[in-house]
Amino acid sequence: MKCPVCNNSDSRVLDSRPIEDGSSIKRRRECPSCGKRFTTYEVIETVAINVVKRNGSREFFDANKLAHGIERACQKRPVDPLAIAKDIETELQNELVEEITARDIGEMVLARLKERDIVSYIRFASVYREFSDIDSFMEEIKSLGKKGRKRVAKPAQTEE
């Protein structure tokens, strides 16, 4: 790493610490030539992901925008929308996806909501799939069947 004072191309690492979520590292360095200490940050290089919208336009993937959309479906539900959005972003980054359709992202959200909370899943699906009438809405609910329901075990009653 080049020294910002004397431009010496060598430096010594004094201390390294992960920052926040562990996706970057803060390093304290010292120049052996001039003795100046400075800080550098190492960040994982990410691929810019383009989202192809339904109308054909493209925009950069924004996990916060996605989380906001999920948040509406998860209102007053025990689901963390930001965690789902970050999970999807991580998956896309790990697969080195450079372009994805909004439809594919929507399906990824639905799959995660289906695992976590059926009510949030139905709310998101109602907007995402643009149900035109009550019949299409009911069809979606019926398609969940028993596999989509989470049963909560009732505590055993003891007789005294």
User: pLDDT digit string (tens) for 87-144?
Assistant: 999 899 888 889 999 999 999 999 999 999 889 988 898 888 777 778 877 887 888 7
Give the type of residue at 78. P
Query: For the sheet containing 50-52, what is the strand order?
Result: 58-60, 50-52, 99-101
d(CA 132, CA 50) in angstroms, rounded, equals 29
Query: Model confidence over 62-97: pLDDT tens digits?
Result: 988 999 999 999 999 998 998 999 899 989 988 888
Hey, CA dihedral for 24, 93, 110, 53, is it positive or negative?
A: positive
Nearest to 76 by CA among 106, 115, 128, 117: 117
Cβ-count burial 22-50 (b if 16+ within 10 Å, e if not): eeeeebebbbeeeeeeeeeeeeeeeeebe
The pTM of this model reads 0.62
User: Cα dihedral angle (43, 44, 50, 51), rounded to 10 degrees?
Assistant: -100
Distances (CA, A) of 45 to 16, 18, 98, 104, 141: 18, 16, 13, 24, 41
CA angle 45, 47, 49 (to 5 degrees): 150
Helix (H) or strand (E) holding 28: strand 24-30
- In the chain, where the domains are located: 12-43, 50-143
The answer, yes or no, to whether residue 152 has pLDDT greater than 60, is: no
Q: Is 52 exposed, middle or buried (0-12, 13-18, 19+ CB in 10 A)?
A: middle
pLDDT surpassing 70 at residue 160: no
